Amino acid sequence: MTKKCNAIPASCALLATIAMVLWPFAGVASATEIADHAFFEASGRATPAPAKYQYMFTPGARWNGTMHWKYNHANAPVALAANKADVIAQLQRSFAKWTAQCGVTQQYDGETTVPPNKVIADPTYGNQPDGTNVVGWGAIDPSIGGWTYDWWLQSGNQRLLVDADVTLNVANVTSLESLDRLVTHEWGHALGLDHSNVDEAIMAGPPSTSYSNLATPQADDLRGCRCQYGLPAGVSAGYACAVPASLDFAPVAIGANSAAQSVTFTNSGNAPLSIQATTITNAQFSVVAGCQAGATVAPGASCTLQVQSAPATTGSIAGQLKVFTNDGEYRIALQGSGVQGARLPTGDGNVRAIYRRGLGLAGNVDIARIDQLPAPPMPNEPRPL
């Protein structure tokens, strides 16, 4: 059962994140998409957002058991005010899109008069969550469709979510269809998912991608949920979790190859994971070994790709590795740089020289060897070529 932390003891310090969603609603002026995750400790001190793979927190935080939630219909928009039962049913249908394919469960516990994001003022830790998960309405920035607050606590070596509240924008959500698009995304945040770096994902959003306006979780969305909660009963799938967001290669001389870096795909699912193809968007990177097309990774087994860079120009280079599988597409950002010649301790350019000793082919110096003349030449004495 989820632990409630109303009076916060020292072992129950909490951290919250705000997840706001910006949607291009009809009748609302287009706005620049913003990075929509701000992190606050209970004391209010901001901390940086985590690097993407796909979780709101690093390490990730998850619900320990069923997520219970309530609905507050106060301040609902005029178009939905008389349809409370339909709104509640839609919230449940939107959540069911996650629970049908991911091993998390939810329970609607009825209505409440508690507003979303109600906090308790603690004299030691400041504002803390009330332990009740609420979906409700509020008048917020018209360019924002809604926001989600998540709170977690540290329990042994785990981070457990203990409170999640979703505030829907009363000015922008005017139909069950728009509610479905918005709240399906918001439920993903409530489960601990961050924005995806895959454009074709319901959890797409800044800084890596733009909001997709999709209404159904895609392969990358489900993978993120499954890597936190596993698979539900009766569902079979292969998927990989510990995949890096990016590979960063050290500077390499133009025309040379970098040391290879590894990307390991370990199948965390209960069915085979099939590698269908790999592509790279920049020819200055290449897959040199491993995880060949047609490879099958059994549950619990792994295959490892070897990737290297070979810059053709000076300066920064970037690309993207795409691995196509029966679990959908995995994307890994690639970064590197090319330099002029080999990097020396005191400079970044070399002179290429060819040494000879004597005449003809016999005078060529062996590779990787530099000879000195047998003796310093006398004045006016011809020097050997």
pTM of the model: 0.76
Residue 373 is assigned to a structural domain of this protein: no
> Cβ atoms within 10 A of the Cβ of 137, count?
25
Percent above pLDDT 70 for the chain: 73
Q: Is 101 within a domain?
A: yes
Give 140 or 182, the one with higher predicted confidence.
Answer: 182
At position 101, the amino acid (one-letter code) is Q
- Whether residue 96 is found in the same domain as residue 225: yes
Residue 287 lies in a domain: yes
Q: Are 5 and 164 in contact (CB under 8 A)?
A: no
Q: Are residues 180 and 50 part of one domain?
A: yes
pLDDT at residue 372, rounded to an integer: 53
Domain that holds residue 104: 10-229
Which amino acid is residue 339, in one-letter code?
A: V
Same domain, 179 and 258: no
Mapped onto helix, strand or coil, the DSSP state of residue 186 is helix
148 & 37 share domain = yes
* Domain stops at, among 167, 199, 229: 229
The reply to whether 236 falls in a domain is: no
Same domain flag for 165 and 57: yes
28: domain CATH number is: 3.40.390.10
Q: What is the band of 342 on the pLDDT scale with cuts at 50, 70, 90?
A: low
> If pLDDT is split at 50, 70 and 90, which confidence band does 352 have?
low
Q: What is the mean pLDDT of residues 340-344?
A: 60
Residue 355: per-residue pLDDT: 55
What pLDDT shows up at residue 360?
62
Examine the domain organization and report whether 96 and 211 are in the same domain: yes
* Number of independent structural domains in the chain: 2
- Does residue 319 sit in the same domain as residue 270? yes
The answer as to whether 358 is a domain residue is no
Query: Is 234 within a domain?
Result: no
Q: Looking at residue 306, which CATH number applies to its domain?
A: 2.60.40.10
Does residue 256 share a domain with residue 222? no
More confident residue, 298 or 32: 298
Query: Looking at the domain assignment, is residue 70 inside a domain?
Result: yes
Residue 365, sorted as left (phi over 0), alpha (psi -120 to 50) or beta, turns out to be beta
Exposed (0-12), middle (13-18) or buried (19+): which is 322, by Cβ within 10 Å? middle
